[in-house]
Amino acid sequence: MQKKQNVLFLCTGNSCRSQMAEGLLRHLAGERFEALSAGLEPNNDVHPFAIKVMEEIGIDISAQQPKAVDVYLGRMMIHYLIIVCNKAQSTCPRVWPGLPNERRYYWPVNDPASITGTIEEQLSGFREIRDELQEKITSWLKDVSVSTSING
C-alpha cells in the first residue's frame, strides 16, 4: 500500500476556506492524500457557517480545529501546499521554504467570513465558496493523477 501524501491548505485564519478544503479533499481522495489545514493567524474556532454548508453535502468538519502553520512547519513532510488567500500567498515564501514551486498552488478564493447581509445571504456566500473549492480540488486531483502517472 502506497503511503499517503500530505496536502496542506493554508490561509490566514484557518476557520473557513482551508477548513472546507481539508474536508473536501478528505472526502474526495482521503485514500490517496492526508488532508491538512493551517493558518498564519488562526482563529479560535471553525466558522459555524462553514460547518453548516459542509454538512449540507454530507461532510462533517465539526471536529476540525484551527491550527497555526507552526504545527506542521519542520515537523512533517508536506508534499503539496495549496494557498487559498492573498495574505498567505504573500507571506508563504518565508513560511514554507524548500517546497518545489510545482508543488505550490495559489487559489485566490474570497473569504466567506467577510460576507455581510442576512443569515441566508451569508450562507449562500459560504455555499459558493464551498462549491468553488470543490471544483478546484476535483480539477487538481485530475491534474495530479496525470502528472503522477507521467512522472512515475
User: Which residues, other chains included, contact 141 with Cβ-Cβ below 8 Å and sequence gap of 6+?
Assistant: 28, 29
Which one-letter DSSP state was computed for residue 2? P
**Residue whose C-alpha is closest to residue 47's, from 13, 10, 95:** 13
* Catalytically annotated residues: 11, 85, 92
For the chain, the distance separating the N- and C-terminal CA atoms, rounded to the nearest angstrom, is 16
How far CA 39 is from CA of 64, 108, 145, in Å, comes to: 13, 15, 27
User: What b/e string do you get for 113-129 counting C-beta neighbours within 10 Å, with b at 16 or more?
Assistant: bebeeeeeebbebbbeb
